[in-house]
């Protein structure tokens, strides 16, 4: 078993929390893990990414080679495409559709979504909207992780346990809000997956 994951977004959007939760879940399953992240200058509102690798076997490189990532998980739609060279032919792209517009030349949303939907395996989810619906507006990152969870080779329960460990310090309420967000994202993907499978038959 192995999952090579690219996480992407804009500095401050919470991709490191996603990485931390998946990391905890990997440890619980006694898997090897390497996770390269970005600190420093790029964190200031710039594009950020993290390479997250999970495997039963020892992991060599901290970086994923091009064309080998099993999944891109993005908390921002334009950022989901920036790392496309890393995605493998059969890889999944799971992205939030709520744009983070802090530049003047941000592309047209319809064109952006059309570009994402060209990919054979993609999930687009309005994570900000779903996070609001489950009354956890600040947990859109966990909604995206939930939506990506069916494609990560880790038991779903372990991700919930990961949230418990990572957010423990912030209190039970925060833990529950994040779990609710994760669950909502998961349900969205399960439903969409079923529809897609039916459609292709």
Q: Contact positions toward another protein, by CB under 8 A?
A: 10-11, 19, 23-24, 27, 32-47, 51, 57, 59-68, 78-79, 81-88, 102-103, 105-107, 111-112, 115, 169-171
To another protein, the closest distance from the beta carbon of 72 in angstroms equals 11
Cβ closest to another protein, residue 65 vs residue 137: 65
Q: Which is nearer to another protein, 86 or 188 (CB)?
A: 86
CB contact burial 123-152 (16+ within 10 A = b; e otherwise): bbbbbbebbeebebeebbbbbbbbbbbbbb
- Dist CA 88 CA 94 (whole Å): 14
- Asked if 166 and 20 count as a contact pair (C-beta separation under 8 A), the reply is yes
Least Å distance, CB 198 to another protein, is 27
Task: Name which of 54 and 142 has its Cβ closer to another protein.
Answer: 54
Cα separation, 89 vs 70, whole angstroms = 9
Phi, psi of 84 (to 5 degrees): -55, -35
- Nearest distance from residue 194's CB to another protein, in Å? 27
Select 63 or 195, whichever has its Cβ closest to another protein. 63
CB of 82 to another protein, least distance (A): 5
Residue 40 CB, nearest distance to another protein (Å)?
3
Question: Which of 50, 189 has the CB closer to another protein?
Answer: 50
94 phi and psi angles, rounded to 5 deg: -115, 120
CA distance 181 to 86: 27
């Amino acid at each position: 078993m192995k999952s090579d994951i690219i996480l992407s977004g804009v500095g401050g959007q919470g991709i490191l929390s996603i990485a931390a939760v998946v990391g905890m879940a990997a440890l619980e399953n006694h898997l090897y893990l390497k996770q390269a992240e970005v600190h420093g200058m790029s964190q200031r509102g710039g594009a950020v990414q993290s390479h997250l690798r999970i495997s039963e076997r020892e992991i060599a490189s901290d970086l994923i080679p091009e064309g080998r990532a099993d999944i891109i998980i993005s908390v921002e739609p334009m950022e989901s495409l920036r790392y496309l060279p890393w995605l493998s032919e059969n890889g999944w792209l799971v992205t939030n559709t709520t744009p983070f517009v802090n530049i003047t030349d941000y592309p047209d949303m319809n064109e952006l979504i059309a570009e994402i939907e060209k990919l054979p395996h993609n999930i687009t989810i309005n994570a900000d909207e779903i996070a609001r619906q489950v009354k956890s507006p600040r947990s859109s990152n966990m909604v995206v992780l939930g939506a990506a969870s069916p494609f990560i080779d880790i038991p779903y329960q372990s991700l919930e346990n990961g949230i418990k460990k990572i957010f423990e310090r912030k209190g039970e309420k925060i833990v529950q809000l994040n779990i609710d967000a994760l669950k909502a994202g998961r349900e969205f993907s399960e439903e969409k997956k079923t529809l897609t499978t039916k459609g292709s038959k």
